[in-house]
Structure 1
Amino acid sequence: MPVAPKRPHLSSTNSALGLLRTLFDASHEGLIAIDPDDGRILLANLTACQLLRLDERELLGQRLEPLPCWPAERELDDELAAVHTGERVLEAPGPDPRTPLEVRLQLVENTPSGPVVLVVLSHRERRRIESALRESEARFRGILEKLPAIAVQGYDEQRRVTFWNRANERVYGYTPQEALGRRIEELIIPPEFRERMTGLIDTWLQSDRDPPAGELRLRRRDGSPVEVFSSHVMQRYSSGRREMFCVDIDLTEIRAAEERLRLAGTVFDSTAEGIYITDASGRLLEVNRAFTAITGYEHDTLLGRPISILKSARHPPGFFHSMRRALAETGYWRGEIWIRYRDRSVHPALLRVNRVRDAQGETAHFVGVFSDLSQVRHSQARVDYLTHHDALTELPNRLLFQARLEHAIGRAEQGRAQLAVLFVDIDRFKGINDALGHAGGDALLRAVGRRLKTQLQRDDTIARFSGDELMVLTEHIADEADSARLAEQLLRAIAAPFELCDDELLITVSIGVALYPRDGADSSQLLRNAEVALRQAKHAGGNSYAFFTATLTRIARERAQLEHELRRAIRDGELLLHYQPQVSLIDGALVGLEALVRWQHPQHGLLPPGRFIPIAESSGLTLALGEWALHEACLQTRRWLDAGIAIGRVHVNVAHAQIQRGALYDTTRRILAETGLEAHHLGLEITEGVVMEHDIEVIAELERLRAEGISLSVDDFGTGHSSLARLKELPVDLLKIDRSFVGGIESQGQDRDIIRAIIALGEALGQEVLAEGIETRKQALALRRLGCRLGQGYLFARPLAPEALPDWIGSRARAD
């Protein structure tokens, strides 16, 4: 009788069997192994049973035709024959006709028992899972299969049974009562091996050595064969009697389990999902081929390393603590996770981890199954992008533009701000498109979109609505003039030639402008009114812009035009200074001049500062205008002094922006050096807003100016909200009472009280006080009685051109 030479590692075999059976059942796909010859089911996993709504016991030994996983119109035998040439993909109704099944037949040839056909079942939804979220859920069961029963027998020197435990009944079918006293060859040795086996047993019983252990093929009571692993121990008694004990383990279930183990191992390495097994501490024991293919790690380099090598450091604090808690409480965890591959790249994955317990209920292993979601995420991002962007120009589309516009309106409403919507349309685009062809027209649209985008700020939005209609949203406007400037900027940008089709193309656009909240309280109304404005621009001949209302269009155009002309005026010398005398209210002597800027406009004549100073402030021209005025006033004063005309000090208004810039001291010193004017002939007037800022650097700058001998005064004092504490810290020599208070000084009202308080304040701080806007002698007399010693206004002189000042001084001298 043949005896196997090796002892199998039964405990490790069954442990591995349990693990691989768990993996087999955990697959997201239904798996059925069938005999390729007769088409009968050999093995089915948990997912297959769930899909077919049948228990595995009901499936084993069955053919596929009567099951809901087989299409009635297909012959199983034909498909089994065809599978030798390649994978077969069929569709079956399934238990629920609303969710048909996809049936794939694959030939697996490398099993120990010969080829098998692997039937893979999945819902039609599987394709969506593979291309989108791959959220098929693996199911694992940490169930350990029972160990085979151990049969123990004892035999005397005549090979008669002396001991027979109950396990033998399960293995061989004989009860102890039936077996005791009978010879071994009568019970369990097959007839064809009896002669040989009895000879061996007799030899063993007469020998001093223990018989070898090994696998034997024996016989049950019903005559059926049974494979066992048999170990033998020879017992020798002091009387000389010998007794042989046999310990047999039924290999029937183990052989079946080994075959299933081979099948499950084939599935383990055939699935497209990455699978790993770790010990209780998280060190890798095994991974499948898909794991190495996905992550880039080599199989042998992974074993023994912690699973934490895949950590990406992208998860929030507590993420892995929550995962461990779920595994401890429920035995599994499922969710999305970021995994770091061998090349250090990080990818999203759908992971399910199961805890596997040992026989004592302690954690023995963890089994993880994951799918890479990178392609799914990329596809989702692309779909999302195309949902919100125009495919031709890659600009935002109407949907995204309206969403951003609504958010911008919400922000503007909270901050009481404005925003502008500009509807841009290419003039005569149909003819251009016909001439260039659709490909050329598309290229032009892309080029126009790119060029317009370069003219916008980073957080502005430009979108393509349809055809040649583009829409611009900007929140960077303070008034209608800002939006007019942007519209003109866009017109100028488009006016430059386009290089298309090996030729230069000149085009124009029309722009309709609507402002929030003036022209609409919601996005729909703003878009509608911008389109109305666009029609107005088209009606005017194109290559222009129009606001929603004609009045607003005219005002914005005038303001934008005036800004353009003001830039030219600063550059071309159209600005000039007039000087209003400042006199002593005690004796009428000239003590100084205030320089006031005027604009000699070529068409509109002499313009007062109220017409253009606000435009200069809103368009960033204040610095250039202020520096020009300071230079011109110092130069003119130097001329007067050189001509022997004493004017005291010339006072020049300094804009807030000039002080904030932080270079007023350096600029003033440079201009004094360039013009040759001594510092004690210059005074600078600051606004009351500077008093409120209390900026340490500003105060230091003003102190440096005063240290040079330059006089500093606060203009229009009393109209703001100055802090006395802050005023005290400023190096100011002069407070100028605003003309609004001087006009009411003849009455015994609040104006007189305010003037009296300002004069008292000046005296307390050691500062001179000058009243502006004096037009009558009564006003001058009242101011002098209140203690004000300096004044200016029409009573003494209107602002004078430089050449008129000597005559005014002469006339004052003759009058005295």
Structure 2
Amino acid sequence: MVKPHAQQDAATLRRRAEQQLQAMPDHLYGTPDPLRLLHELQVHQIELEMQNEELMHSNEALRLAAYVFSHSHEGIVITDATMRIVDINPAFTAITGFTASESLGRHVSMLVSTGRDGLQSRPLLRTLRRDGSWHGELSCLRRDGSSYPARLFLTLLREPPSTRRSARHYIGFFSDISQLKQKEDELIRMANYDLLTGLPNRRLLTEGLNLAIQRAQRTGKHLAVCYLDLDGFKPINDSLGHEAGDQLLVDTADRLRLALRANDIIARLGGDEFVLLLTDLADDAEYHQVLDRVLQAVGTPQLLTGRLVRITASIGVTVYPNDNSDNDTLLRHADQAMYLAKQSGKNRYHYYDLARDQLIREYHHQLSRLTSALEQGELLLHYQPKVDLRDGQVTGLEALLRWQHPELGLLTPENFLQVLEGSNAELVLGQWVVSQVLQQMEHWRQQGMVLDVSINISASQLQQQDFADKLLQQLARFPLLSPAQLGLELLETAALEKVAQSIQTLLTCRAHGIRFALDDFGTGYSSLSYFRNLPVDMLKIDQSFVSNMLNSPEDRNIVDSIIRLARAFNREVIAEGVETLAHGAMLLQLDCHYCQGYGIARPMPASAVSTWMQQWQQARVWENMPSPQPEP
């Protein structure tokens, strides 16, 4: 090969010489011109120099090609048109073990495996002849018969068209990629398997679960998804050390492998948590048998760092397609069932209850919906008057929660409040009710109406250590309101939970003038000693006794007994559920003059209170009370 600049310099010299030669006369005085002959010699000399330089560069290119051929770290093999080897380089021998004498003249197929990852000659040759090259990975053979993965690049060397010869050669470049494949395999293992136990990890479990579900759909058999957690692993890990804990996990993995069937799948999710996929189940009895073996295998004592230790397992089970959920949900259901197994005493398996889960999900949905109702302003307060039937005085109001549901209309607490019990949302709602009541009381005060209002308090609210502090902080925002205007009503059962704490909270509030009433009295289980010590100002007779007192001597006697009890302990008493004026007359006869109920007024929006009070004073129904006529 001649370098471009050398060709350009020689061509320039030759062109100048020819121009000078053509400019000279053909002859001088009839004789050849010596100068012309001289110039012709110069032209021939330049041509010879060009040819010599081309030859030198060609030799240099050949020496470079030979050096690359000999020193390349890739194996190089050249074959004729029939794929018989005509030349190899030293790297070829280093990789394959075949020397030149053992290779030349032999077919190249001696180097390649014929299995799944080996030579597929026909497709390869078609591509090679069509495109002029082929590259890919093959499983190749060494001289000693061992195989290795190789990356190969083949190219077809055709003769130039000017030669008019059809002869061609193939040249192949290849390298041993065994180390690269080992690293790839290691990365795959790290991505798909737990490094400690060698079990599939969560990623591979997902694939296995997909395949197991597809198999169950195809065969019509069942699949049990089991979530296993070791009982007592943490104390052993903490006391004996992490190495002992790791060994315990490895031993447990081995025991699980032995306990399961051939087609079952086991995976470790991390820590001491495992997942078992029991496939091809004809009925529930099959997974019962397998899990019984698992519990026995895990629970068998084993020697660890010279000590005999024993752990057990809690397993949650859900069965597809009975539980026709997606992968993540199946695992979550099995996890939930596992926690129930632990709560039931451990060392057992617990079957996931779909109906129970639906109830739980419905509960959380209702809780979420009620929380959003508070945020969206759908909750409101109605107020029901309390009166003294002796003179018709309105002694106060009870604030009652309502939900203005966008689809179901106005809902009373019995339709939604139970879902809040014991939740954080119940405390948030309680704070909201206090705030709304105090704002409304201040609004009435500005209108010239000084009204006492009572609020219902739950057990969870009363048991908060900062209940009294928060209540007093809210009252402080309305300095013109007297704390004595605010009353708190609590259920008998709420007051008796954590009695000592409840009494202290009541005493703190009472010291600031806040009044307390014991609601639904007679329906609980308090003893007289508890009742005597509770710092409450009033008893509220449950409406179930009041509403039936005209027709039931037993209920009338209960009402009478409660009234007498209140008087004996120097407490005021009020009756709720007064549905008619006849009920009111009977209560007056029994010496209970504070009343509340539909017979006096239904709960109403705050905006309607002023109008009702005017109508109540004008009607003066307490002056014309009917005579009570109870059944004997």
If the length of structure 2 is used for normalisation, what is the TM-score?
0.48
If the length of structure 1 is used for normalisation, what is the TM-score?
0.38
**Relative contact order (alpha carbons < 8 A, sep ≥ 6): 1 or 2 greater?**
2
Higher helix share: 2
